[in-house]
């Protein structure tokens, strides 16, 4: 008996397709959940820091101090939330969450500027949210530097000997959504693919249909591939739907090639679906398989793929573990194709690793599957 007969493989794939069509919950999970997760995470995960609550302690009360405060407000990053009388009031403002940043303009601010001396201001930050505090401080320094360039000394405008002009490539507006949505394609498909196939073999055991399957001449490889093919088609449809929704709903640019995205998505899905089949074959319980698939895919894909946190900043042990997370490589693919429009010459390393992951995932699924009844 051959290991792979096309007729038996097609029969197995057709059986799984018919069974899937009768399972409306699985169909809902397969088609609706990826889109729902993209919408929820796409709107919920925002790294842009805007509309920072600003409190101003203006002890100088001069035209120059008012111009400085106007510079903060007109920058678009701050809104004036309070005008306390003393700098010590910052403790209460931070405790209540009324302000994230307190700007203290000391007496003599205008006199220092008018006299050609260096004028200083104090910036107090709420450091309970380190990320927001760091970004707010950078904004405050930028506004203060911009104000300093506009200062008129002795009737002449200050001229700097060097002017730096920056230009951002690929994400010109620095919108976090342009980085988040392509990454979500990788994370969501990793979770959905593994969860879908994690139920297939376990379902056969729980429903008692494994006895019928054991009596057929199909090989283990044909069972695994036959169960994988319908979900592979669904996964490719989901990749297309999620990508289109990201471009249309969130306005994320798509600069690369669709003809490159789908072959690489094919490799990624083969590995993810194979992982789900492996979990299903080992657990033999739909509840346990779902839980294992969620733990084995969602947490690594979300935390160790580079989606939420830079891998370079992780401890050496976690950096080493991240090499075992396939979403790490597909995330580079989606961001590269969406934002940079790169080709296979740039992504061949990721393609080779995803191919290796697909081979390993399918091999584990085939090796773990047993037709024999206990």
Edge-to-edge strands, sheet with 52-58: 78-82, 52-58, 101-105, 122-125
Q: Is a pLDDT exceeding 90 seen at residue 359?
A: yes
**What tokens appear for 235 in the block?**
């996964």
The predicted-structure confidence for 126-143, as pLDDT tens digits, reads as follows 988 888 888 888 899 888
Strand partners for 122? 104
| Summary mean pLDDT of the chain | 84
Q: How many residues does the chain have?
A: 374
pLDDT at 2: 54
CA–CA gap between residue 308 and residue 314 (Å, rounded): 11
**Closest to 270 measured CA to CA, from 360, 370, 366, 369:** 360
The predicted-structure confidence for 61-117, as pLDDT tens digits, reads as follows 998 889 899 999 998 889 999 999 888 888 899 988 899 999 999 998 888 887 777
CA–CA gap between residue 328 and residue 297 (Å, rounded): 12
Domain ranges of the chain: 25-45+175-368, 52-157
pLDDT at 155: 47
- What contacts 194, CB < 8 A, 6 or more positions away? 272, 273, 275, 276, 279, 293, 296, 297
52-157 belongs to which homologous superfamily? abc type-2 transporter like domain (3.40.1710.10)
Q: How many CB atoms lie within 10 A of CB 267?
A: 23
Q: Is a pLDDT exceeding 60 seen at residue 291?
A: yes
Higher pLDDT, residue 220 or 40: 40
**Closest to 327 measured CA to CA, from 198, 196, 192:** 192
Query: What global pTM score does this model have?
Result: 0.81
CA–CA gap between residue 191 and residue 188 (Å, rounded): 5
């Amino acid at each position: 008996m051959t290991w792979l007969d096309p007729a038996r493989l097609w029969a197995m794939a057709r059986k799984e397709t018919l069974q899937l069509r009768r399972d409306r919950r699985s169909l809902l999970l397969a088609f609706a959940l990826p889109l729902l997760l993209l919408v929820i995470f796409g709107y919920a995960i925002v790294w842009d820091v805007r509309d920072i609550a600003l409190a101003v302690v203006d002890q100088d009360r001069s035209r120059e101090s008012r111009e400085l405060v106007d510079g903060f407000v007109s920058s678009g990053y701050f809104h004036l939330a309070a005008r306390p009388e003393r700098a010590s009031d910052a403790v209460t403002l931070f405790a209540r969450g009324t302000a994230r940043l307190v700007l203290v303009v000391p007496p003599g601010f205008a006199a220092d500027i008018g006299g050609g001396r260096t004028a200083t201001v104090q910036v107090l930050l709420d450091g309970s949210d380190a990320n927001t505090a760091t970004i707010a401080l950078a904004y405050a320094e930028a506004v203060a530097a911009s104000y300093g360039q506009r200062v008129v000394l002795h009737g002449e405008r200050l001229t700097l000997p060097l002017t730096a002009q920056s230009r951002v490539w690929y994400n010109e507006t620095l919108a976090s959504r342009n980085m988040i949505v392509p990454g979500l394609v990788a994370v969501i498909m990793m979770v959905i693919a593994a969860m879908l196939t994690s139920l297939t073999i376990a379902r056969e055991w729980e429903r008692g249909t494994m006895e019928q399957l054991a009596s057929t001449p199909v090989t283990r490889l044909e069972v695994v591939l036959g169960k994988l093919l319908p979900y592979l088609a669904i996964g490719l449809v989901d990749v297309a739907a999620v990508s289109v929704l990201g471009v249309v709903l969130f306005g994320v640019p798509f600069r690369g090639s669709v003809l490159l995205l789908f072959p690489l998505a094919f490799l990624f899905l083969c590995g993810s679906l194979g992982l789900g089949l492996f979990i299903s074959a080992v657990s033999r319980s739909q509840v346990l398989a779902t839980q294992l698939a969620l733990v084995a895919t969602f947490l690594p894909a979300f935390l160790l793929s580079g989606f939420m946190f830079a891998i370079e900043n992780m401890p050496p042990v976690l950096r080493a573990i991240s090499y075992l997370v396939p979403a790490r490589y597909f995330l580079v693919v989606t961001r590269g194709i969406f934002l940079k429009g790169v080709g296979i010459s740039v992504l061949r390393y990721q393609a080779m690793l995803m191919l290796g992951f697909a081979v390993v995932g399918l091999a584990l699924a085939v090796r773990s599957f047993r037709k024999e009844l206990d």
